Amino acid sequence: MEKKWNDFLYRYGLRKALITDQRFHRADLGIMSTTFMTSVERADTFTASFSRAGTDLTADGDLGRIKGIPNFSPTAPGLHIGDRYSVIGERNTTRFRMLKPWMMGELENSRDSNGNFTGKKEAYGDQFVVCHTPTQLKRATTSLLQYSAAARVARVAP
């Protein structure tokens, strides 16, 4: 298992090199789930006898840096990053924009499950939020997907 995660660290370094040398961006951000981080920590590099500069754990034991890139675990609910997906890239390339703040709509006639009016009123609210990466900065990130060929389900087209 340790050899597998050592190979992951090697491939992580290759993705960093791709961003830095071919795409001319600074790789200074790594994002992966806490479960994924815990798995990566099984690599030999994180033991004292095999440690390398630029790859370490934080003071509280979490994954700190790989190849000099600080890694973070997103804590927002409902993210689709999963436990096998990691993102490497440059910070501050994607912008979070609120196009319309939360606002209650007008009261409307309520309907039941059959679409018939119920004689009651109901209200709803909406908000428009977007994440935008300018075209010039889309190549500032890359990702790694970890999967098991043995656990993969073979799909056959009907």
Domain 2-91+141-145 has CATH 1.10.10: no
Write down the number of H helices and E strands in the chain: 2, 10
Of residues 72 and 22, more confidently modeled: 22
pLDDT band at 18 (very low <50, low <70, confident <90, very high): very high
CA distances from 12 to 42, 68, 84, 127, 150 (A): 15, 11, 13, 37, 22
Of residues 75 and 116, more confidently modeled: 116
Instruction: Round the CA-based radius of gyration of the chain to a whole number and report it.
Output: 22
What does the block give as tokens for 106?
A: 């007008």
Cα 97 versus chain centre, distance: 18
Question: Would you state the pLDDT for residue 49?
Answer: 55
Parse the chain into domains and list their residue ranges: 2-91+141-145, 95-132
**Predicted confidence (pLDDT) at residue 48 exceeds the cutoff of 90:** no
Question: Would you state the pLDDT for residue 32?
Answer: 86
Of residues 36 and 109, more confidently modeled: 109
Q: How far is the first Cα of the chain from the last one, in angstroms, to the nearest whole number?
A: 36
Mean pLDDT of the chain, nearest integer: 82
Contacts of 108 (CB under 8 A, 6+ apart): 121, 122, 123, 124
Which range, of 2-6, 102-106, 117-121, averages the lowest pLDDT? 2-6
CA 92/CA 29 separation, integer angstroms: 10
**Predicted confidence (pLDDT) at residue 70 exceeds the cutoff of 90:** no
CA 53/CA 6 separation, integer angstroms: 15
DSSP structure class, residue 153: P
**Predicted confidence (pLDDT) at residue 148 exceeds the cutoff of 80:** no
